[in-house]
């Protein structure tokens, strides 16, 4: 595995538990120190395709079963799932209209709140329609609501994982307990091949590791690694790093948002937010069309400082929904990269180089799916290495917990751009 983020560590664990001899190589000093470390780690099911929803629902159960799933000790303790629930605010023509039929199809429990229920259950929220989202310097930004939101969709099972870096470390320990190995502070500088078959990797100290199977789990470096493998231009779906800011704001003390707050997806203002320790609210962008996208050419060089413009956009949008929010002068938060696929749906697949696989393009929304993605990749690799033609006959994997059918053809490198995608972090 090239990478030991949450996805790489999960693929390593799933292969190791099937008896493979695995090695995760990571340029950074510990598991989950890359983009995973700054993940909001939200576990929600609100995707816009059947397979997106099915993966997320199955993925939840890895977190609720985490200690048993890992079957290993971690001296640092285990990450936990905080099931604060998710409120998907309905806005006219909004994401809920796509999501609700998919919840019904997959069998996800939810409550459909009308306008009055939303007001009663969330008294601190302004229930008005402010959208569509606008830049804060738009003359209409502070206009009053044009009407009431029609309600919301509530899922009680969702929430967030307490510590995404620790979760990756947990997976490392679980893989190691099954014989898996990890090599840190070491960069892969070459992909070795013989004809159409991968034979291993070259490391930055000049050493080589021979391996019949190599998996690109390099997060925002996925395209760099595919270039090293000589695969540029061989996949219909590409990946590209996108810079994202997530901000931390202190919640009004009376709200006690840390303990009583919920995760909210607010397509009307263009932000999502969730509770965070220290009575904070963590707020990120749902990539509204009015905001320019901050694509990054080189994932090793990007601006890690919080910008005044993005801070104002996100915090003031949040303040529209929670009017009692004080807007602090001091900016707090994190900046990191999504590895965005052309249609914001991940690529879990083989490639044209035999033995070389990819779990990439996680598009800001696959932390929650680490366990199930690891399972799917291990099933895929095992089947293809045994001779299965996954391109001609895409594999369907059965969810370990829910029994749901996971159609891996939907995550193919050569799929058509999925027109049902939200083309945003909502997948």
What are 379's two structure tokens? 């099933």
The set of residues, in sequence order, having a beta carbon less than 8 Å from that of 233 and lying 6+ positions away, is none
Strand partners, 396: 407
* 311 touching ligand FAD, by CB under 6 A: no
For residue 200, CA distances in Å to 15, 210, 214, 232, 352 come to 17, 4, 7, 18, 16
Per-residue contact flags (x/-) with ligand FAD for residues 324 to 363, judged by CB under 6 A: ------------xxx-----------------------x-
Q: Which of 84, 218, 235, 313 contacts ligand FAD by CB under 6 A?
A: 218
- In the bound state with ligand FAD, the residue whose beta carbon lies nearer, of 6 and 166, is 6
What are 199's two structure tokens? 């034979």
Stretch that binds ligand FAD, among 14-22, 105-113, 319-327, 365-373 (CB under 6 A): 365-373
Least Å distance between CB 65 and ligand FAD? Answer: 17
**Residues 112 and 153: beta-carbon distance below 8 Å:** yes
**Residues 133 and 317: beta-carbon distance below 8 Å:** yes
Angle at the Cα of 396 from the Cα atoms of 393 and 424, rounded to 5 degrees: 105
Stretch that binds ligand FAD, among 6-14, 86-94, 305-313, 375-383 (CB under 6 A): 6-14
Per-residue contact flags (x/-) with ligand FAD for residues 255 to 274, judged by CB under 6 A: --------------------
Per-residue contact flags (x/-) with ligand FAD for residues 32 to 71, judged by CB under 6 A: -xxxx-xxxxx-----------------------------
Q: Which of 91, 165, 366, 410 contacts ligand FAD by CB under 6 A?
A: 366
Which residues ranging from 8 to 27 are in contact with ligand FAD (CB under 6 A)? 8, 25-27
Least Å distance between CB 91 and ligand FAD? Answer: 20
Q: Which of 181, 187, 390, 400 contacts ligand FAD by CB under 6 A?
A: 187
Closest CA to 90 of 102, 78, 99: 99
**In 3-state terms, what secondary structure has residue 109?**
coil
What are 81's two structure tokens? 């799932």
- As to burial, measured by CB atoms within 10 angstroms (0-12 exposed, 13-18 middle, 19+ buried), residue 329 is exposed
End-to-end Cα separation, the chain, in angstroms? 25
- Contact residues: ligand FAD, CB under 6 A: 2-8, 25-28, 33-36, 38-42, 187-188, 217-221, 225, 244, 246, 336-338, 362, 364-368
């Amino acid at each position: 595995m090239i990478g030991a983020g949450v996805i790489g560590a999960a693929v390593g664990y799933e292969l190791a538990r099937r008896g493979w001899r695995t090695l995760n190589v990571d340029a950074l000093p510990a598991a989950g120190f890359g983009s995973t470390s700054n993940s909001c780690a939200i576990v929600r099911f609100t995707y816009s395709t059947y397979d997106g929803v099915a993966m997320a629902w199955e993925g939840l159960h890895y977190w609720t079963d985490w200690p048993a799933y890992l079957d290993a000790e971690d001296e640092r303790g285990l990450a936990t799932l905080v099931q604060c629930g998710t409120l998907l605010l309905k806005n006219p023509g909004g994401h809920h209209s796509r999501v609700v039929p998919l919840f019904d199809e997959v069998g996800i429990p939810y409550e459909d709140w009308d306008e009055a229920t939303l007001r009663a259950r969330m008294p601190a929220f302004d229930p008005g329609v402010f959208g569509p989202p606008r830049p804060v310097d738009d003359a209409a930004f502070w206009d009053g609501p044009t009407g009431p939101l029609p309600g919301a969709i509530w899922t009680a099972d969702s929430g967030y994982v307490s510590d995404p870096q620790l979760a990756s470390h947990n997976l490392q320990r679980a893989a190691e307990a099954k014989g898996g190995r990890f090599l840190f502070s070491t960069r892969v500088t070459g992909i070795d091949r013989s004809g159409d078959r991968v034979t291993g990797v070259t490391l930055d100290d000049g050493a080589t590791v021979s391996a019949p199977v190599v998996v690109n789990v390099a997060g925002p470096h996925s395209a760099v690694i595919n270039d090293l493998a000589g695969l540029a231009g061989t996949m219909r779906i590409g990946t590209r790093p996108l810079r994202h800011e997530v901000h931390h704001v202190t919640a009004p003390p009376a709200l006690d948002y840390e303990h009583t707050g919920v995760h909210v997806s607010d397509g009307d203002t263009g932000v999502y937010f969730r509770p965070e320790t220290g009575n904070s609210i963590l707020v990120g962008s749902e990539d509204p069309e009015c905001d320019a996208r901050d694509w990054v050419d080189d994932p090793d060089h990007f601006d890690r400082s919080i910008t005044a413009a993005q801070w104002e956009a996100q915090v003031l949008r949040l303040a529209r929904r929670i009017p009692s929010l004080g807007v602090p002068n001091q900016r707090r938060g994190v900046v990191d990269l999504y590895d965005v696929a052309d249609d914001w749906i991940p690529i879990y697949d083989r490639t044209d180089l035999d033995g070389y696989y990819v779990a990439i393009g996680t598009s800001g929304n696959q932390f929650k799916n680490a366990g199930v993605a690891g399972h799917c990749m291990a099933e895929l690799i095992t089947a293809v290495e045994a001779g299965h033609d996954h391109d001609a006959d895409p594999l369907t994997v059965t969810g370990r917990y829910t029994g749901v059918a996971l159609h891996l053809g939907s995550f193919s490198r050569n799929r058509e751009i999925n027109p049902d995608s939200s083309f945003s972090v909502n997948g």
